[in-house]
Amino acid sequence: MIQAPEHIKTIKPYVPGKPIEELERELGITGSIKLASNENPLGPSPLAVKALRQGIRSLNRYPDGSCYYLKGALAKKLRVTPDEILLGNGSNEIIELAVRTFVSPGDEAIMAHPSFVVYSMIVQAAKGKNIVVPLKDLRHDLDAMASRITEKTKIIFIANPNNPTGTINTKAELDSFIEKVPDGILVVVDEAYYEYVTSSDYADSMKYLRQGRDILILRTFSKIYGLAGLRIGYGIANASIITEMNKVRQPFNVNSLAQKAALAALEDEKHVARVKRINEKGKKYFYKQFKAMKINYIQTEANFIYIILKEDTAFQLYNDLLKKGIIVRPMGLREIRVSIGLPKENKSLMEALREIQNAKIKM
């Protein structure tokens, strides 16, 4: 039997959750609530849904391989040129394209932990070496990351806001870090939750692009735009970086429905504002409820909240909530990530947590 090479064998694969329908069947429940994947609970813009319906008629045709119209709309919105934008099958694909383009076997990639697990998986698959730096105060320790740069460093990943903690690095911190990074190292700033940020101290990553830095900014239509099921994200970098990445990009990598829906969603600023308002209300509701229950939580700049339990009961809590039809994401022995849902969903979670807390689990 054929065997995978060792660098592939030892990758810990991403483990997706079961479909809601299957969990309901197994547990004998209905009307379950999914607060595990940081999805937009409000759904996509009506304009995007309309564009999808219209786009179905042309599914016999290949998609626009250049994403011409969407790229043009993004360029106008971001005040960059179309050749500074790369569209992908989710921002995950942009991460993979960056690694495939700039990381050779033996090269190093620096990233934080805990952070988005896909970074290390893709680097290992490319036979690169992951240099993992622990978070400090649940935020990227940029000074420590800078100290780990060597001649072998080719790429650095910074999730801002960070997943799973929801924390950010400030303008001053990122400014200082960028100054320490030598030319020839690609800094990937993953801003999947960019639109949810409310902090006035959030770093302007586009500034580094305008300065001509080796930076790749990642954004997505999966979160606030509610198009996670269509898998579409984009990267912003100087044209020379995008040109190299395009060399390893598959033709027609973004399907036609995703392009049409994203283009329409981009125009619906009222829907985006509504999603953000609902998220802010849900955030404040959870803060108040967690505080009342003496649950340790981390203030977030995203659409999820990181909870740290007092004991190693995260998986027990996950299973207890599952039996009540509520799906959250255990991130470790004591850590749980909870997506912010609609008001009714948030209330149901808190009612379930109170029942569980009263029964047995210390939170």
pLDDT tens digits along 305-328: 999 999 999 999 999 999 999 999
Using one digit for the tens of pLDDT, what is the confidence trace for 204-239?
999 999 999 999 999 999 999 999 999 999 999 999
Confidence grade of residue 358 (pLDDT, cut at 50, 70, 90): confident
CATH number of this structure's domain 46-267, picked from the four choices 3.40.50.620, 3.40.1390.20, 3.20.20.10, 3.40.640.10: 3.40.640.10
pLDDT above 90 as % of the chain: 89
What's the whole-number mean pLDDT along residues 18-43?
85
Spatial strand order of the sheet with 296-298 comes to 296-298, 304-308, 335-339, 329-330
Q: What is the pLDDT of residue 24?
A: 76
Does the structure show a pLDDT above 70 at 135?
A: yes
- Alpha-carbon separation of residue 164 from 114, 155, 338 (angstroms): 7, 21, 9
Residue 172's Cβ-side half-sphere holds a number of Cα atoms within 13 Å equal to: 2
The residues of the chain that CATH labels 3.40.640.10 are: 46-267
Give the pLDDT score at 178: 98
pLDDT attached to residue 3 = 83
The pLDDT score that the predictor gives to residue 211 is: 96
Local confidence band at 17 (pLDDT 50, 70, 90 cut-offs):
low
Helix or strand or coil: residue 111? strand
pLDDT, tens only, 138-168: 999 999 999 999 999 999 999 999 999 999 9
Start-to-end Cα distance in the chain:
48
If you average pLDDT over residues 281-309, what whole number do you get? 97
> Rounded to the nearest 5 degrees, what angle is found at the Cα of 223, between the Cα atoms of 130 and 36?
75
Please say if the pLDDT value at position 361 is more than 80. Answer: no
The answer on pLDDT for 363 being more than 70 is no
- Per the prediction, the chain carries an average pLDDT of 95
CATH superfamily of 6-43+270-359: Aspartate Aminotransferase, domain 1 (3.90.1150.10)
As a whole number, mean pLDDT of residues 3-17 equals 79
Q: What's the pLDDT band for 26 if we cut at 50, 70, 90?
A: confident
Mean pLDDT of 112-133: 97
What is the DSSP pairing of strand 304-308 with strand 296-298?
A: antiparallel
- pTM greater than 0.75: yes
Residue type at 253 in one-letter notation: N
Q: Which helix (H) or strand (E) holds 101?
A: helix 91-102
